[in-house]
Structure 1
Amino acid sequence: MMVNERWYATHFKELAFTECLQLLGSSPGGRVAYSSDEGPVVLPVNHVMDGEDILFRTSPHTELGRAMRSGHVAFEVDEFDEVSRTGWSVLVRGDAEYDDSDVLLPEDRPGPWAAGTRNLVVRIRPRLVTGRRLLAR
């Protein structure tokens, strides 16, 4: 099957690193992806940016909390307009770790939207950040 490269060239725009960071910070919700024994898992989380790092909160007693102890993860944020068929997406591939640097949880740390105790702060340190914008035809 032959792919029409011209279509991709005129309808997709690769995003610069700085624009990717701005878009990551513009949306409070994203999806974190990791591998479990049963296969890939993708879960929605609310987050904040700390420089280039992504922070979110979860419970240490959940599969997500246990999986974030350390390891490779992906994080994705996107926005689409169905009417104009335009949008963008940013994908971060990096390493997750627990962040216990803030004992009192200052205002710049993520506040959980979900009910229950979410006292584990997870930091994703990006290794690769890519993004693209779908342009109107």
Structure 2
Amino acid sequence: MSRATRSRPFSPTRRHLLVGGSAAALAAFAQWPGAASAAELDPEGFLALSERLTRKDDLSADIAASMLEAFRATGRVEDLSALLNGSDNQDLANEIVAAWYSGVSPDPDSNDVLTYTDALMWQAMSFTKPMGYCGGAMGYWAEPPAG
């Protein structure tokens, strides 16, 4: 004959409290379920990501803020947040680097130039300068460059 089981109300033990507290602390430490959301991506985070990708430590914070807004317009903020947190998205990383080198907005619906004279392409092409940008005193081009 089967024994009738009596149901008792749940009464937490010290073990339950320790396990629950440890799990809560671990979840908070790991920032679970997501390490970053689109709302957490700020210009400083984007600047740090850009400096890591371009291997330049002197990028402009103002240009980074403008570039982040242009990426927001493309709807890629979640992808940027994931990239900032270590995901492998080589296409997006290349888009960020290309935007810094060209100075052109990554938004295909925009014709904005985010920077011209501070675009990284001018550092890469040390033999030239931005068009319309003075290279020196009158006649500076007549002599070969120093060094």
**What TM-score, normalized to structure 2?**
0.27
Larger helix proportion of the pair: 2
Q: Which has the higher strand share?
A: 1
Flag the structure with more relative contact order, 1 or 2, with Cα contacts below 8 A and sequence separation at least 6: 1
What is the TM-score normalised by the length of structure 1? Answer: 0.29
Larger Rg: 2
